[in-house]
Amino acid sequence: MGADLINVHSYCTGDWTASSGPDAGARAIYSAVTGEQIAFAGGGAWTVENMLQHARQVGGPALRELTFHDRARALKALANHLNEHKESLYALSTMAGCTRGDSWIDIDGGIMTLFAYASRGRREMPDSTVYLDGDVEQLSRNGTFIGQHICTPKLGVAVHINAFNFPVWGMLEKLAVSLLAGVPAIVKPATDTCYITEACFRLMVASGAFPEGAFQLIAGGTGDLLDRLNAQDVVSFTGSAQTALMLRSNPHLLANSVPFISEQDSLNATVLGPDVTSDSPEFDIFINEVVREMTTKAGQKCTAIRRIIVPQTQIATCIDTLSARLNSVNIGDPGLKETQMGPLVSASQRQDVLDINAKIGQQASAVTSTNGLSVEGADGEAGAFVAPTLFHCPDPDSADAVHSMEAFGPTATIMPSRDLDHACDLLNRGGGSLVASLVTHDPAVAAKVATRSAAWHGRIYINDRTSAKESTGHGSPLPYMVHGGPGRAGGGEELGGIRSVKHYMQRTAIQGSPDMISAVGKTWVPNTSTSSQDAHPFTRTFTELQLGETLKTDLREITLDDIEHFAHFTGDTFYAHMDEEAAKANPFFPGRVAHGYLLLSFAAGLFVQPDPGPVLANTGLTDLAFQKPVAAGDSIRVELTVKRKTKRNDDYGEVRWHVALFNQDDEPVATYTLHTMNAY
Ligand code: NAP
């Protein structure tokens, strides 16, 4: 192999290992644009067993030492580093056929996903090593035996097997999730584009953001890696349904219940609402969305639109408009500014697309131009160029290929629907998809499609004139929204906020006394032992405050004058506070009662220590419940308990306080959680 070829290295047990020559199993990698060999990968002198040991014994323990917030901060540092050095990745991405816009989705999209999880991790996960899943469950009458679900990181390795079309995003979106969970990863990118992944990986290692062993890279084949996994490991696969089936049915994985998350190809569809005509703004939205989805990354997106479902009355107009737009797409060297669509990733990918087009062509007819391919700035034969192809299938009920064959390129089929029910039937015939979209300005249409079709799709994207400007696009998976889908799409959920982090953790039901549950979850729960200090808790710093530290106040009587004064002062003269007869007639009140907000205000008056001190701000109040009415002549007192502490930065942290109000008979009157920021 030539000296100027990229020798794609693997990163194993803390070292970079070269790929060997073709005799030792390396595969040649070609430029999508010129067809010339540019790199080779595989057959390096490393062993999967050493990599697994390194992840399990070095990376895993180091990651589990960190809290969720530490890991989130590391993700942010990693994202910042990649952001500063990303330009080198853009140059490589062009060789895979990507225009600047295509590369942006992969490279900047990947970095943004890291940022998104860095932020969610700190906002929605605790600054601890245990994630609380749901509320405490009362398991006994007197509250001495309770339950709590927790999630902790699996003790093994996340094996990420990725598809060729997103060499950067595909790696980073999975790493964001598994690293946040606290599980080290072995990344296996698709060979066709692994030179881009390797370049990104070198930046990741150089960033020093994560401890050694947190991630390793395999360029080329994985050998018997899957046969060495156990129930503490997770395989997360992205690729074709065929490869997924082959890998997930590995007998060793099945025998050992190794979790297998799968994101596969899918026959994503879009529906034009029956309310849309060619002169409504939604028509242009629909056409633009279809053209964008068919041509971005030359249609090599798992979420790309493959089926276009249009009311019978609109089909001729849609075909004319779409074919005119697709016939005028500038195809060429992806490095040229004017190029709108580059080549497919490789000659073999082009052959696959042409073969599947031929099969779809037996049930549908091509309506885009067949006058040959015009390619600007590159050799159309040597590079893996294809033209966008729109098929028209007039009888979609009896055609199978259009609902089951994925041409992973710029190919889609338009088909007529008789009515909205029929459109939903066709939408669902893909057998499970990552995303279905609907363009309509009629909320009733949206409600019907969601009700009839949501179960078959991971995401439903609805667009109209109101959302068009800010909408993110049919084909864009977002970190906070589910990415994955049922059936044909693999049944996985790669993204979806903290939901996807849980795939790399074990959920365990913990049962015991409140003291035990508090200690495990590092969160005070009611009925746990409390402590008190001489100093008022508002005079103690974030560091000094202890979980369970409680302030108990004296009683304060509520008078009729208080209620009257509060009503007129605030303007809240609701009858339950002002009119004895009307209040009595209400099933909830014994007569006139104090305002709930009056009770909260008096509670603050009872527990606040007024002097300047460590409490910087009251940032909110959650989980408020009024449990018993308080009438004039009743008294209330407060118990204020430190429930949870979360460090925010070196200056301050958030304290959550359990606030419980009782009446003179010690009956609970109200509870809530108070949030304050306290100086460190
Ligand atoms: P693919 O051929 O199925 O390969 C996927 C990955 O599996 C590659 O990394 C491949 O490595 C690896 N692989 C193949 N055989 C293996 C084995 N025996 N052991 C371990 N790994 C093995 O898919 P692709 O051509 O890369 O990607 C295109 C497909 O992916 C399309 O069908 C597309 O719809 C789908 N896709 C889905 C999503 C999603 O999120 N749902 C995203 C992107 C793509 P090698 O390259 O070395 O063979």
User: What is the distance between the alpha carbons of residues 357 and 389, in angstroms, rounded to a whole number?
Assistant: 8
632-to-536, 566, 578 alpha-carbon distances in Å: 29, 13, 11
Of ligand 1's listed atoms, the one at least distance from the Cα of 220 is 47
Which pLDDT belongs to residue 397? 96
**Do the beta carbons of residue 646 and residue 680 sit within 8 Å?**
no
**Do the beta carbons of residue 52 and residue 216 sit within 8 Å?**
no
- 313-345 in b/e form (b: 16+ CB < 10 A) is ebbeebbebbbebbeebbbbbbbbeebbbbbbb
Could you write out the DSSP letters of every residue in 472-484? --TT---TTS-B-
Ligand 1: which of 161, 353, 476 to mutate, judged by most atoms within 8 Å of the beta carbon? 161
Largest alpha-carbon pair distance within the chain?
95
Q: Which of 98, 194, 200, 302 is catalytic?
A: 302
Provide the token pair at 216.
């390793």
Which pLDDT belongs to residue 20? 85
Nearest Cα residue to atom 14 of ligand 1: 243
194-207 and 169-181 helices cross at what angle (nearest 10)? Answer: 40
The alpha carbon of residue 508 and the mean position of all alpha carbons in its chain are separated, in whole angstroms, by: 22
Ligand 1 center to 511 CA (angstroms): 42
Ligand 1 center to 112 CA (angstroms): 23
Ligand 1 center to 434 CA (angstroms): 16
Ligand 1 center to 158 CA (angstroms): 17
Nearest Cα residue to atom 32 of ligand 1: 240
Ligand 1 center to 264 CA (angstroms): 8
Nearest to 481 by CA among 264, 256, 303: 303
Q: Which of 263, 282, 493, 494 is catalytic?
A: 263
444-to-94, 274, 275, 312, 450 alpha-carbon distances in Å: 44, 11, 10, 20, 10
- 167-198 in b/e form (b: 16+ CB < 10 A) is bbbbbbbbbbbbbbbbbbbbbbbbbbbbbbbb
Of ligand 1's listed atoms, the one at least distance from the Cα of 477 is 40
Of ligand 1's listed atoms, the one at least distance from the Cα of 494 is 40
Ligand 1: which of 174, 246, 302, 457 to mutate, judged by most atoms within 8 Å of the beta carbon? 302
**What's the CATH fold of domain 530-679?**
Thiol Ester Dehydrase; Chain A (3.10.129)
CATH 3.90.1150.10 is the classification of domain 6-129+153-263: no
Ligand 1 center to 104 CA (angstroms): 21
Which pLDDT belongs to residue 2? 53
Nearest Cα residue to atom 26 of ligand 1: 163
What torsion, rounded to 10 degrees, do the Cα atoms 140, 144, 149, 152 define?
Answer: -160
Of ligand 1's listed atoms, the one at least distance from the Cα of 246 is 18
**Do the beta carbons of residue 43 and residue 52 sit within 8 Å?**
no
Ligand 1 center to 254 CA (angstroms): 20
Report pTM.
Answer: 0.93
Provide the token pair at 499.
């939901």
Which pLDDT belongs to residue 464? 97
In sequence order, what are the beta bridge partners of 331? 341, 375
Nearest Cα residue to atom 35 of ligand 1: 239
In angstroms and rounded to an integer, the radius of gyration of the C-alpha atoms of the chain is: 30
Nearest Cα residue to atom 8 of ligand 1: 190
Q: How many CB atoms lie within 10 A of CB 1?
A: 14
Could you state, in chain order, the average pLDDT of each consecutive group of 10 residues for the chain (680 residues)? 81 94 81 96 88 98 97 98 97 96 97 98 94 95 95 98 97 98 98 97 98 97 95 96 94 97 94 96 98 97 97 97 95 96 96 96 90 88 96 95 95 98 97 97 97 97 96 94 95 94 97 96 92 94 96 97 97 97 94 97 97 96 97 97 93 96 98 97
Nearest to 305 by CA among 289, 283, 328: 289
Tokens 């970095």 correspond to: 111
Q: How many CB atoms lie within 10 A of CB 571?
A: 6
Which pLDDT belongs to residue 43? 84
Active site residue 406: no
Ligand 1 center to 408 CA (angstroms): 12
Domain range list for the chain? 6-129+153-263, 269-489, 530-679
Nearest Cα residue to atom 34 of ligand 1: 265
User: What is the distance between the alpha carbons of residues 673 and 641, in angstroms, rounded to a whole number?
Assistant: 10
User: What is the distance between the alpha carbons of residues 96 and 33, in angstroms, rounded to a whole number?
Assistant: 7
Nearest Cα residue to atom 43 of ligand 1: 302
| Ligand 1 pocket, Cβ-based, cut-off 6 angstroms | 161-166, 188-192, 222, 238-240, 243, 247, 263-265, 302, 406, 408, 434
87-95 and 100-124 helices cross at what angle (nearest 10)? Answer: 130
CATH 3.30.70.1290 is the classification of domain 269-489: no
User: What is the distance between the alpha carbons of residues 199 and 41, in angstroms, rounded to a whole number?
Assistant: 13
Provide the token pair at 642.
């430190």
User: What is the distance between the alpha carbons of residues 468 and 144, in angstroms, rounded to a whole number?
Assistant: 54
Provide the token pair at 470.
């800010």
Active site residue 263: yes
Nearest to 306 by CA among 248, 389, 183: 389
Of ligand 1's listed atoms, the one at least distance from the Cα of 192 is 46
